[in-house]
A and B are shown apart, each in its own frame.
Chain A
């Protein structure tokens, strides 16, 4: 959770040039040197059949973000909404990145109960049990990592990364990411994945250009 503690700060150097320059972008790829293992489901006494594993692709999703953000990054006033669905006893998406003030909806798309909860210090909550077609929501007001679970199905888990600024991106299936509208300047860029150690790099965003940064997480 300390991982995101610095995201509410800002970079003075970047702030000096931000107003006069054209924004740029940061793009690249995150490679996981050790592929994540599939999420196992505890063998159950009353199971019918042997359930399929959670797709490994979900666990390959990484988040790339600026550790400290330029001035003006916190001026967003509109509250946002995001959705983390519960489908086939899986949270979809497995990794969600949002800004502070976002309300995350947790619809239940399964014909069984789910009970979404989190013990994270960032935002502890317990939505209780609710059936298919119903949705409950949680507003996330503090930056940090919110680990999400289902109280009924121990194999269901997900991550919500909450940032105090908009400079972050979740990787696609190929591990690619892109952060747009970054004011020119030098920043610390961090790549995060649930199963490995985060890695940070210094990156200089050119005036109106794109900085390319690849990560290889161990």
Chain B
């Protein structure tokens, strides 16, 4: 019953009508189509706005509600399928070798957050080599480097970069059973050590925040590489260091032929606060997140294919063995006409099996997601998208959820 109910033409119309009206108004207003440029080109300001709404149907729930399974939440309050997002990016050329960059983002009614504020220094004028310092873009993986809505062929995010596991930086499980109790409850997990207030867990890699530190980034021939030292971790980028540990991350990618990019990434960092580590009678360095990633992108003519996998391990001083997670995603996009594209993504997030005295199970509930959709370009920079997403989870209160989403996207 559920799928048919949420896909009824009336619901589809109700979902998209407000966005269509807004899209028409946006298109008619002749809003800026190019970035603003000031000071003889020294200052460039660009921006984007996205309005996303959705109609979800989970098991045992009324049709057309919010995502009651919290499959798409990036924190306890915000679902990526019901979001008003806006962003401003600016670059200010301070000299021939120095540029200041900033990225301010607003989600729903929250305070605008500076995603990134950093300096880009180019020591050698003729070499493709930069040093960046401040709150910098992620070194790891491919998705975080294209996290803006315009680069995402669908509305939802890949699980690795958005789905909240039960692990937290400020609270720790004492036993394996503590972890089992939180399976499928990453949007609001609680553990006995550290901060015992229920709060959202962490994704494998956070696409919604940038870390603070320094990064070297260069390219020579077909090879591009980046390495960074930052204060937070892949799962929990931060502004102020909270454990005196540093994240080391690196990425190398090659472009052997035009249209093909293959990359590998690695990162290692303590991921819990000093306070929660102390509550467990250990040091923050006893809780380390180690991640390896591989990604491939191939495009030609009107299609684009992407594959990305992340293998992540967590050391917990309180639990044996190591916790592991493996995320694998494949997505494709095809342009049917100059205005219309279709896209699909298949995504899985799995976890290793551990044992308590009474139970043997995966430490988190595995999740599988597929999403199909498409977009219609009202203008080059005004896009209307529709998608259908289905999630299954082997654990938690809500184990299946299907959502129909619509998004209006404008950028300049």
Query: Which A residues fall within an 8 A CB radius of B?
Result: 37-43, 45-46, 48-50, 53, 111-113, 117-119, 124-126, 128-132, 147, 149, 151, 154-155, 157
Contacts and interface: CB of A to CB of B under 8 A. Distances in A.
A43 B338 contact: no
A40 B130 contact: no
Contact of A39 (B34, B93, B120, B257): B34
Nearest to B47: A42
A125 B281 CA distance: 65
A119 B339 contact: yes
Given A43-B44, A113-B258, A129-B301, A124 B337 contact: yes
B147 A45 contact: yes
B244 interface: no
A96 B137 CA distance: 39
Nearest to A53: B41
A124 B338 contact: yes
A40 B335 contact: no
A42 B381 CA distance: 13
Contacts of A118: 338
B89 A43 contact: yes
Contacts of A48: 128-130, 217-219, 224
B35 interface: yes
B37 A39 contact: yes
B300 interface: yes
Given A50-B91, A124-B338, A132 B380 contact: no
A130 B89 CA distance: 29
B101 interface: yes
Nearest to A136: B301
B117 to A, nearest CB: 12
Contacts of B339: 119, 124
A50 B93 contact: yes
Contacts of A124: 337-339
Contacts of B256: none
Contact of B299 (A113, A149, A154): A113
Interface in B16-52: 34-37, 40-41, 44-46
Contacts, number: 97
B300 A43 contact: no
A48 B219 CA distance: 8
A202 B347 CA distance: 64
B145 A53 contact: no
A46 B137 contact: yes
Given A49-B130, A50-B99, A149-B380, A131 B338 contact: no
A113 B297 CA distance: 13
A42 B339 CA distance: 22
Contacts of B91: 43, 50
Interface majority SS on A: helix, strand, loop or mixed?
loop
A51 to B, nearest CB: 9
A40 B147 contact: no
A128 B302 contact: yes
B36 A111 contact: no
A40 B137 contact: no
A37 to B, nearest CB: 5
A126 B377 CA distance: 13
Given A128-B301, A130-B301, 10 more contacts: A38-B41, A43-B46, A49-B122, A50-B120, A53-B41, A112-B258, A119-B338, A125-B338, A126-B338, A131-B258
B379 interface: yes
A118 B301 CA distance: 15
Contacts of B338: 117-119, 124-126
Contacts of A157: 34
B34 A40 contact: yes
A86 B31 CA distance: 27
A99 to B, nearest CB: 23
A113 B41 CA distance: 26
Contact of B300 (A37, A39, A50, A129): A129
Q: Which of B37, B40, B103, B130 has the most CB of A within 10 A?
A: B37
Given A46-B145, A112-B258, A126 B337 contact: yes
A50 to B, nearest CB: 4
Q: Which of B122, B379, B380 has the most CB of A within 10 A?
A: B380
A119 B34 CA distance: 16
A114 to B, nearest CB: 10
B259 interface: yes
A49 B121 CA distance: 8
Given A43-B91, A119-B338, A119-B379, A129 B36 contact: no
B302 A40 contact: no
Contacts of B257: 131
Contacts of B335: 126, 128, 151
Nearest to B224: A48
A147 B33 CA distance: 12
B322 interface: no
Contacts of B5: none
Contact of A126 (B44, B130, B302): B302
Contacts of B101: 43
B11 interface: no
Interface in B73-101: 89-91, 93, 99, 101
A39 B411 CA distance: 15
